[in-house]
Amino acid sequence: MGRRSVPRFGRLPTTLVAAAAVVAGISGGHGLAADSLTIDVDSAQKVTIVGSSDSLRSAIADLCTRADVRLLAYEAEDRPFSASYQQLPLAEALARLLRSEIFLVGLRPQDDGAGNVVTWLRVSGAKGGVGGPLFAAGAAQAAAPAGATAAIDIGVATQVIETALTSDDTIARNNARRTILENLRSNPAPLQRYLETDAAVLVDQLQGFQHAAEFLNSLQSVGGDVKQRSQIQTILRGIRARQDAARREAAAAGDRDD
């Protein structure tokens, strides 16, 4: 896999250390030994990380370089870490390494449709606790209709879509929408296919989400043509009409109770 230049942050291993790694015989991808850490990434973005380091920031920067991933920012406080991961998919390795940080990733479907390729990473800070969703900013989320977000197939992780549609945290929703838009700008075909679905079906699918209108309005910026933007407007009108009807029905029920 070719290397693309990315922003580098923190203390990076020296060329002497990298050369020592080559002499030591690390092979099978792009290998690196730094401190007591070995990092290797193969052409399928399978990651092996074994050892420890006093700089997670440097390790993430090196990992992104070897995986051909753009590191857009690393704004979290640096910290030491240790790991022992063998042949993990890159997205899973990032989830484990950055378990205490807030971060977003960009995904692109693999050509064979057998999964996603990580294309960019943004680490924006540290969470108050450990764990949380991989693609969103660690906010509490409202319950979504069972299976509903999984049906919104626009080539973006379900967790991201759920955050954009249900989170009460404005920052989390904004980050999720930004992730969605960056993915769709690089790969618009899934959105085009999604919008070919009958508008009434999409209204049924989206009307139960608190932030559906906000989500749809953001999609208009990547709608490829007049037909797609018109479809989004039709869905918005359908959702508003059903919301108005529900309010009228609730008001009428209240009048009957009086």
Question: Would you state the pLDDT for residue 232?
Answer: 92
Q: Is the pTM of this model over 0.85?
A: no
Identity of the amino acid at 68: D
pLDDT tens string 102-135: 777 777 777 766 667 888 888 876 654 333 333 3
pLDDT tens string 239-252: 888 878 777 776 77
pLDDT tens string 53-74: 999 999 999 999 999 999 988 9
What is the spatial order of strands in the sheet that 116-126 belongs to? 70-74, 116-126, 101-109
Average pLDDT over all residues of the chain: 74
Whether residue 146 is predicted with pLDDT greater than 50 in this model: the reply is no
For the purposes of burial, counting CB atoms within 10 Å of the CB of 162, is it exposed (0-12), middle (13-18) or buried (19 or more)? buried
Whether residue 22 is predicted with pLDDT greater than 60 in this model: the reply is no
For the chain, give every domain's residue range: 1-132, 137-258
Q: Report CA-CA distances (Å) from 67 to 45, 81, 87, 88.
A: 6, 20, 13, 13
Question: pLDDT confidence of 205, banded at 50, 70, 90?
Answer: confident
